[in-house]
């Protein structure tokens, strides 16, 4: 059976393969990277050094954002506050408010 699936996938047009990758596989890969970043000891200590560099990559694709918002409540809450409502949780931070908000929601 697996061989039939492999053959089927192999025969798909490139645009279909790219669509599947961008909309289903890539969001799961970035979810894994996000979860890994928030579990570092630095993140637990509210240091944004591990999570902050990842955020621009997470925001590059609407499917990645939707996946994170669906599967990670803290990400959804921070996204609504910062990106939809345009409220900075930490006004004195020029950059990093979103990152720190995520970590505080998880560990504070």
Q: For the segment 7-38, what is each residue's pLDDT rounded down to a tens digit?
A: 888 899 999 999 999 999 999 999 999 999 99
Compute the radius of gyration of the chain from its Cα atoms: 17
What pLDDT, on a 0 to 100 scale, did the predictor assign at position 2?
A: 61
- Tens of pLDDT along 47-61? 999 999 999 999 999
Distance in angstroms (rounded) separating the CA atoms of residues 43 and 60:
22
pLDDT value of residue 48: 94
Task: Give 68-84 pLDDT, tens digit per residue.
Answer: 999 999 999 999 999 99
pTM for this structure? 0.85
Asked whether 37 and 43 are in contact (CB, 8 A), the reply is yes
Question: What share of the chain in percent tops pLDDT 70?
Answer: 98
């Amino acid at each position: 059976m697996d061989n039939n699936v492999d053959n089927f996938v192999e025969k798909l047009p490139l645009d279909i393969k790219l669509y599947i990758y961008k909309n289903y596989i890539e969001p799961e890969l970035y979810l894994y990277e996000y979860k890994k970043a928030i579990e570092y000891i630095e993140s637990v200590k509210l240091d944004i050094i591990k999570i902050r560099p990842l955020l621009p990559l997470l925001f590059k694709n609407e499917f990645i954002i939707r996946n994170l918002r669906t599967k990670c409540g803290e990400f959804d809450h921070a996204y609504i506050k910062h990106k939809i409502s345009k409220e900075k949780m930490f006004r004195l931070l020029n950059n990093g408010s979103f990152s720190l908000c995520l970590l505080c929601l998880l560990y504070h």
